[in-house]
Structure 1
Amino acid sequence: MGARSGAARQEKTGDAPRPARRRLSVDRRREELMAAALELFSRRDAEDVSIDDVASAAGASRALVYHYFGGKQELYVAALKSAAAQLEARLKPQGNGRPLDELASGLERYFDFVEEHAAGFAALLKGGPANRSGEIGEIVDSVRHRLLRLIMRQMRVEEPGPALRITLRSWIASVETAGLDWLEHRDIERPTLERMLVDHMVALLGVAANHDPQVEELLEELVRDQLL
């Protein structure tokens, strides 16, 4: 009778039974909490996301979030570090082909990450100025420096002069903006966008070559390699 009346109350109110809390390993639970945090941080400013929001999104308790991370700032930093580490892993050199082909391959892996880990990518790059100082800024800058070093390696450049350095960093900023725009609109095919960004690099180098002999020599080598 009691069981039947309980079921009747549940049917009457329409409330679904709460799922049993799963027993997860420490690492798995941390990953779930960080994934939930990244999803929230990608859509709202960090200041507007509470520990309760993260706990609710992850199906965990507020106390558990504090147990693993200590507070919201620690959770934010850990989540961004996780996203940055995953992105940097994608950027490891895959071969030793022609520079522009390697650049295209790197872009494909970059956008693989953008597509598969949209929340992490957006959270990593979308924060306002207040989130770009201290440890948070260092996390974002580490990814950009990694990408800069990768491009220099692909182009066989040991030490870029001012014109080349500015050109490469400007292109990296364009790639970041393109990734965020693509996530928001998705109104251009990924392969088209990736080819466009390779052409964008060549165009930027062409402009810089008019002002700097190092860039002019590099561009000539890139074009010659593509013709071989």
Structure 2
Amino acid sequence: MTTGVRRRMGVEERRQQLIGVALELFSHRSPDEVSIDEIAAAAGISRPLVYHYFPGKQSLYEAALRRAADELAARFQEPHEGPLGARLLRVMSRFFGFVDEHGPGFFALMRGGPAVGSSTTNAMIDEVRQAAYEQILDHLGVGEPSARLALVVRSWVSLAESTALLWLDGREIPRPELELKLVHDFAALMAVSAAYDPETASLVLRILADEPSDGPFGELAGRLALLEPLLPVVPGPRAATG
């Protein structure tokens, strides 16, 4: 008969274990509702030992958010292969996968939780938004966006965030439908901007040239075509007179 011996963890290994345990607990309940005692019990150590690795719940909370922020930012990374619509749909699938798995944790990350207003938490949130913004520009093949294009991309990143937060309150709309809708929202924002900005219009035409008719953007065009008979006839812009 052998007796199991608990392996002693190194300092960094134990810290990472505690961060993982805290993130798992925060994924199911608001961080405000999770105590140090619960984290210690889930990690199989004593409460004083938790404080040996983290000076308080706030520091452990911020460390867990750091890991969540890094993982969330990574969800926007996507190989530059294939049509843009399909790429964005895969990004949205991974993004909502994170939201679905870490509901309360995602809400805490994007709304601050017990660290609301702290410079550390705000910086993490800004990093996630900036990473998403830069990834989308990279997929568009744009290094220095115009003010109008930058506004479109940042608006869409903000829309994805706010949509996810609203969806968490009940999950009333099927996830795949919402993921596809956000890709369509991106196309709509780009199209509206293209109507005002020749540079964005040129970019939209380049993107559409590579889009298949059965892709997300092609599906949107088909849905809009069904509405055409119901739309009022709008006169075009008047020609300038001398």
User: Which bracket does the TM-score occupy, shorter chain normalised?
Assistant: 0.7 to 0.9
Residue 213 of structure 1 corresponds to which residue in structure 2?
198
Number of positions where the alignment pairs a residue of Structure 1 with one of Structure 2: 208
Structure 1 residue identity aligned to 2:163: A
Query: 1:123 Cα deviation (Å)?
Result: 2.1
- Aligned mates of 1:28, 1:181 — CA distance in 2: 36
Q: Retained in 1: the 8 A contact 2:26–2:105?
A: no
User: Could you list the per-position Cα deviations for residues 72-110 of structure 1 after superposition, in whole angstroms to 9, with x for gaps in the alignment?
Assistant: 221121010010122223332234211222111111121
Residue 12 of structure 1 corresponds to which residue in structure 2?
none
Residue 88 of structure 1 corresponds to which residue in structure 2?
73
Q: Retained in 2: the 8 A contact 1:98–1:225?
A: yes
From 95, 106, 109, the equivalent of 2:94 is 109
Residue 179 of structure 2 corresponds to which residue in structure 1?
194
Query: 1:188 Cα deviation (Å)?
Result: 1.6
Kindly, what percent of the aligned residue pairs are identical? 41
1:64-143 maps to which residues of 2 (within 5 A)?
64-127=49-112, 131-143=116-128
Query: 1:49 Cα deviation (Å)?
Result: 6.0
Query: 1:202 Cα deviation (Å)?
Result: 0.9
From 207, 217, 238, the equivalent of 1:222 is 207
| Runs (5+) with no aligned partner, structure 2 | 1-5, 214-242
Q: Retained in 2: the 8 A contact 1:42–1:126?
A: no
SS of structure 1 residue aligned to 2:90: helix
| Runs (5+) with no aligned partner, structure 1 | 1-21
Q: Retained in 2: the 8 A contact 1:40–1:54?
A: no
Change beyond 3 A, Cα 1:59–1:40: farther
Q: Does 1:161 align with 2:146?
A: yes
More displaced 10-residue stretch of structure 1: 193-202 or 71-80: 71-80
- Aligned mates of 1:182, 1:119 — CA distance in 2: 12
- Aligned mates of 2:30, 2:103 — CA distance in 1: 14
Q: Does 1:179 align with 2:164?
A: yes
Q: Retained in 2: the 8 A contact 1:84–1:140?
A: yes
- Aligned mates of 2:57, 2:169 — CA distance in 1: 26
- Aligned mates of 2:82, 2:71 — CA distance in 1: 24
Q: Retained in 2: the 8 A contact 1:104–1:194?
A: yes
Supply the RMSD in Å over aligned alpha carbons: 2.9
Query: 1:163 Cα deviation (Å)?
Result: 1.2
SS of structure 2 residue aligned to 1:158: coil
Structure 1 residue identity aligned to 2:188: A
TM-score of the aligned structures, taking structure 2 as reference length = 0.72
Query: 1:182 Cα deviation (Å)?
Result: 2.4
